[in-house]
Amino acid sequence: MMIGALGWRALLYKETLRFWKVGFQTVGAPVLTAVLYLMVFGHVLEDHVKVYGTVSYTAFLVPGLVMMSVLQNAFANSSSSIIQSKIMGSLVFVLLTPLSHWGWFFAYVGSSIVRGLAVGVGVFVVTAFFAMPSFVAPLWILVFAFLGAAILGTLGLIAGLWAEKFDQMAVFQNFLIMPMTFLSGVFYSINSLPPFWQTVSHLNPFFYMIDGFRYGFFGASDISPWLSLAIVGSAWLVVSAIAVHLLRIGYKIRG
């Protein structure tokens, strides 16, 4: 019992160390990418777009880029770890441990949360030099950042279990995660869209993560942050239940 209870901490440490040892690639590169987005979009649209009345476009863009980086890197952490371990054959060493499916879940999702938040903090620190947004409701910022990283870390775990090669993982990443992230309101307010596309945006769960996160900075959002919290929280419960079930039955990891 004690070994199993402590084992997930060891796996969490191992998974955190895995991405931190190549921090220039796993943390530094996403920060640079976000800065490039900010410089391009901010330069082009700063004088043409105003959001929430008095908020400059660059300031509006900063929280969106932070949250986008959190989501993408949380997904990348758990998905890449699982698929690499499966292909290299090293997953068997984790299977030999007395870890329960809950231990696997907390370790892989926990390390994804750590990476997502680390990248998010890095992106914010650098982009804040261009435009420092306010902090109207810091608790909302923390809640949505944590939930967003947890959901994408869990989705990455599911994707890693499902995929058997890198090509399949690329399909999941390029045709699901990337489109939903970019069409979630990172670069625009959905109130600027035609009615049809506003309706489509409301079907995208990533929209609620980013809109709720942005509310914490400006005290304004496209919809109520409480509604966003309810939807995001429910989404995490659903994907977590799926991930835990797949781990419990050893989906594609046990013969």
Q: What one-character-per-residue DSSP string does 9-24 give? A: HHHHHHHHHHHHTTHI
Q: Where are the alpha helices (DSSP H) in 128-164?
A: 138-162
Q: Residue 113: how many CA atoms within 13 Å on its side-chain side?
A: 19
Domain ranges in the chain are 25-249
pLDDT value, residue 253? 86
> pTM of whole model > 0.75?
yes
Label the pairing between strands 55-56 and 50-51: antiparallel
Answer yes or no: is pLDDT of 132 > 50.
yes
Which stretch of 54-68, 116-130, 155-169, 208-222 has the lowest confidence by average pLDDT?
54-68
